[in-house]
Every structure is written in C-alpha cells, then in structure tokens.
C-alpha cells in the first residue's frame, strides 16, 4: 500500500471533484443530453485522464523537467481550446429538441485530456509528489493510478448527474440559455486558476 494513501486520496478527491473543464462540460452534457448520451464523454474523461497521468508518470515528467516550455505550450493550447469551448457552450441552441444537439464524443473527450491545463498540472504535481524512483516506483505508480481512476469515475458521474438534476428546473428556453451562460462563465473562470 502507498504510505501516503490518505494524502493521495484527498489530493485526488479535491482536484477531481472541484469545478474544472471536465466537470463543467459534464454538467452541461448531462443538462442538455441526459445521462445515456453523456456516457461516451464520461468514459473519455475517465480513461483519457488516467492514460495521460500514466504517460506523464512513465516518462513525460522527465521531458517536462528538461523542456518546461512543452508543458507551457500544452497549457496555452488547452487554454485556447477552453475559450473556444466556452464560446460554443454559451451560444449553443437552447431548444428542447435534443436531436439538434450533438454530445461530445469519447474520442474528443479522451484526446482533450492531453490538452486540459488542469489535468496536466494535476498529473505533474501527483507524479512529483506521490511517486519516487527506485524499487517502490511501480508500486507507488499503480496506487496513484488506481486512486486517480476511482476519483475520476466518482467526479464525472456526480457532475453529469448534477447537470441532469438541474434540467428538472428548465421550464423554458430562457432558463436553458442562462444555464449555458453560467457553464460558459465557469469554464472561463477555470482558466484563471491555471496561471496564478
């Protein structure tokens, strides 16, 4: 067992369950598309984040240490994508005709994890803090990945269901429009946390 399992769990809980790009988009999807049509998005987040964390853990962290500019480029690219995504959410159609709405796909969400500034920062901090080189490397790495996977599941399901729950209050197009504006604003506010 990882000697800092409680600290690791708390870290993953806070970073996974706090508002961030994945969670905001999951709520938006749950609100506009429902749970069933949001499953590809949820799976993309769960497996995409865990894969990205594994890649950082098993080598990319060394590249970031040698060439920190690469990490900054990823964060910058992710920021631009988030601004675009916030724009799309803000001006998405507020019609109840769900067939007109297209949910985010598994592939799009999976690949986005490699550009998600919050995810990249969390991965670098997790690997730097909760793994060590030497004989315990594999054991610590597997525990870290397992805990991250668990909290990714808990977080994305909670936020998707929260969006679905909010749909109950959507009695008209005006409410839906304002919900989309709020989600868009939250997404933009996430960007500020990457740079302080």
SS3 (DSSP) at 103: coil
Count the alpha carbons within 13 Å of 175 in the hemisphere toward its beta carbon.
Answer: 10
pLDDT of residue 159: 94
- For residues 110 and 22, the answer to whether their CB atoms sit within 8 Å is no
- Expressed in angstroms, the distance from the first to the final Cα of the chain is 34
- Reported as a single tens digit per residue, the pLDDT across 108-143 is 999 989 888 888 888 888 888 888 877 888 899 999
Q: Rounded to whole angstroms, what are the CA distances from 15 to 8, 136, 138, 178? A: 11, 24, 23, 27
Residue 196 confidence (pLDDT) = 56
Q: What is the mean pLDDT of residues 77-92?
A: 76
- Are the CB atoms for 41 and 103 separated by under 8 Å? yes
Q: What is the pLDDT of residue 190?
A: 66
Joined together, the tokens standing for residue 96 give: 């109840």
- Whether residue 44 is contained in a domain is answered as yes
How does pLDDT run across 156-180, given as a tens digit for each residue? 999 999 999 988 877 777 777 787 7
In a domain, 56, yes or no: yes
Virtual torsion, Cα 90, 107, 102, 36, nearest 10 deg: -110
Boundaries of domain holding 107: 36-192
pLDDT at res. 101: 60
Structural contact between residues 161 and 38, judged by C-beta atoms closer than 8 angstroms: no
The set of residues, in sequence order, having a beta carbon less than 8 Å from that of 149 and lying 6+ positions away, is 46, 50
pLDDT for 95: 47
- Average pLDDT on 183-195 reads 70
pLDDT of residue 93: 57
What mean pLDDT comes out for the span 95-120? 77
**Assigned domain for 9 exists:** no
Whether the pLDDT of residue 194 is over 70: the answer is no
Q: What is the pLDDT of residue 100?
A: 53
Report if residue 2 sits inside a domain: no
Number of domains in the chain: 1
26 domain residue, yes or no: no
pLDDT of residue 192: 67
> Does some domain include residue 23?
no
pLDDT at 66: 80
Q: Tell me the HSE value of 137 on the side-chain side, using a 13 A CA sphere.
A: 9
DSSP state letters, 83-101: HHHHHHHHTS---S-GGG-
> Tens digits of per-residue pLDDT, 2-53?
778 888 899 899 888 887 889 989 998 999 899 999 999 999 999 999 999 9
What is the rounded distance in angstroms from the CA atom of residue 175 to the CA atom of residue 50? 35
Whether the pLDDT of residue 98 is over 50: the answer is no
Please indicate, yes or no, if residue 27 is contained in any of the structural domains.
no
């Amino acid at each position: 067992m990882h000697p800092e399992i409680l600290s690791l769990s708390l870290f993953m809980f806070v970073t996974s369950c706090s508002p961030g790009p994945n969670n905001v988009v999951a709520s938006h999807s749950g609100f506009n598309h429902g749970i069933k049509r949001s499953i590809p998005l949820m799976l993309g987040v769960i497996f995409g984040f865990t894969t990205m964390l594994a890649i950082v853990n098993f080598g990319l962290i060394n590249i970031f240490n040698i060439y920190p500019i690469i990490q900054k480029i990823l964060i910058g690219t992710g920021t631009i994508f988030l601004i675009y995504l916030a724009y799309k959410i803000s001006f998405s159609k507020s019609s109840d005709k769900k067939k007109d709405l297209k949910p985010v796909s598994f592939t799009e969400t999976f690949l986005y994890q490699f550009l998600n500034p919050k995810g990249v920062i969390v991965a670098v901090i997790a690997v730097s803090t909760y793994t060590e080189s030497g004989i315990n490397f594999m054991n610590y790495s597997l525990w870290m990945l397992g805990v991250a996977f668990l909290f990714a599941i808990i977080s994305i399901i909670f936020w998707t269901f929260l969006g679905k729950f909010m749909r109950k209050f959507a009695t008209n197009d005006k409410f839906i429009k304002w919900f989309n504006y709020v989600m868009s604003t939250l997404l933009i506010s996430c960007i500020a946390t990457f740079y302080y």
